[in-house]
Amino acid sequence: MRIFNTMAARAIPLVPRSLIRRISRRYIAGETLCDALVRIRALHTAGFRTTIDVLGETACSAGQAESMTHDYLDLVQTLGAENMRTELSIKLTALGLQLDGDACMARVSMILRAAAAHGISACIDMEDVRCTQKTLDAFLRLEAEGYPVGIALQAYLIRTNEDIVPLQARKSPMRICKGIYAEANEHLVDRASSDRSAINAHFVRHVSSAVQAGSFVGIATHDALLIDTLIDWLQRERVDRSRFEFQMLLGVCEPLRDRLLAQGFNVRVYVPYGQDWYGYSTRRIKENPRIAGYIVAAMMRRGRAG
């Protein structure tokens, strides 16, 4: 079954967009801010925290970066008007990091300044390894300027062993995830390209060392075994639950998400919305081959029925 699912994931570009669109409704709040607000209100009512992300690819022009900046500013204004406490997820490449670093910093500073005025924090997302150093440099500068901002780190990268050290010294808020970008083996921890569970020991080490250093840590994973391992450690060390939270994607492993909340843990749900539903959905499907297997099997059944 695993082989079938892996083959299905590779065939996703051949799947009709209409079918991907139906699947995407589980993982994306919608195409508009109004759609996202409906999902966020429901999650807050249920007791979850949220992070909201405006979907978008790497900006190819200054115009695209400016358009994304305005989308974020509109989002912040609306959240502020409704007194809705959430967190922004920001990808720097969507704001022009690869085009003009100074212009990108000016844009993200404008967004963070507006967000801070409404008591809204942000997390700088981590992208592929070509952007890692620039992203870390930008975060350190933004944090030094006093913005309420955290940084995402990817446990499958070898360099995270070193990157996390100065962040721990500063007690920087951080989000630890496994990492999803396709990277060359030379950048990855042992066997991470073929065995995702090989990342777990590194993940646990990064989370535990960051918590012990005094950082607030977002534990971003859907791996139930990894979560149980970390819960055992956190309880054994008597770590106060205000010092960490679990983070999960909208529509993914909802029974596990609900169980964590019922156990009294803080749980944050990542809520994406926007026009780029296709790009985001295909990335999520490729990350979870079981979904791809389900889609392709459904297509085959429909074809036989026809």
Q: Classify 117 as helix, strand or coil.
A: helix
- Is the pLDDT at 128 greater than 90? The verdict is no
Q: Which of 125, 163, 268, 284 is catalytic?
A: 125
Q: Classify 100 as helix, strand or coil.
A: coil
CB-based contacts of 56: which residues, under 8 Å, 6+ apart? Answer: 64, 68, 71, 91, 94, 274, 276
Q: How far apart, in whole angstroms, are the C-alpha atoms of residue 182 and residue 193?
A: 8
- Is the pLDDT at 264 greater than 60? The verdict is yes
Domain 29-273 classification at class level: alpha beta
Q: Out of 59-63, 191-195, 215-219, 273-277, pick the least confident.
A: 191-195
User: Mean pLDDT across the chain, nearest whole number?
Assistant: 87
Beta bridge partners of 249: 270
Q: Which of 49, 175, 257, 284 is catalytic?
A: 175
| Confidence at residue 131, expressed as pLDDT on a 0 to 100 scale | 92
**Nearest CA-CA partner of 55 in 276, 288, 263, 292:** 276
111: its two tokens? 């967004």
- Is the pLDDT at 198 greater than 90? The verdict is no
**How many C-beta atoms surround the C-beta of residue 26 within 10 A?**
13
Report domain extents, the chain: 29-273
Q: How far apart, in whole angstroms, are the C-alpha atoms of residue 103 and residue 110?
A: 11
* pTM exceeds 0.85: yes
Q: H-type helices in the chain, by residue range?
A: 2-10, 17-24, 33-46, 62-81, 101-117, 132-144, 160-169, 200-213, 224-236, 254-262, 277-287, 289-305
282: its two tokens? 């295909």
**How many C-beta atoms surround the C-beta of residue 224 within 10 A?**
12
Q: How far apart, in whole angstroms, are the C-alpha atoms of residue 34 and residue 89?
A: 18
| Confidence at residue 24, expressed as pLDDT on a 0 to 100 scale | 72
- Is the pLDDT at 145 greater than 90? The verdict is yes
125 is catalytic: yes
Higher-scoring residue by pLDDT: 25, 137: 137
Model confidence at 16, pLDDT cuts 50, 70, 90, reads: low
Higher-scoring residue by pLDDT: 132, 276: 132
Question: What is the rounded average pLDDT of the residues 208-217?
Answer: 98
- Is the pLDDT at 8 greater than 60? The verdict is no
154: its two tokens? 């990817």
Question: Percent of the chain at pLDDT above 90?
Answer: 68
- Is the pLDDT at 247 greater than 70? The verdict is yes
**pLDDT tens for each residue of 37-95:** 999 999 999 999 999 999 987 899 999 999 999 999 999 999 999 999 899 999 999 99
- Is the pLDDT at 121 greater than 60? The verdict is yes
- Is the pLDDT at 299 greater than 60? The verdict is no
Question: ∠ at Cα 105 (103, 110), nearest 5°?
Answer: 100
| Confidence at residue 18, expressed as pLDDT on a 0 to 100 scale | 73
Beta bridge partners of 267: 246
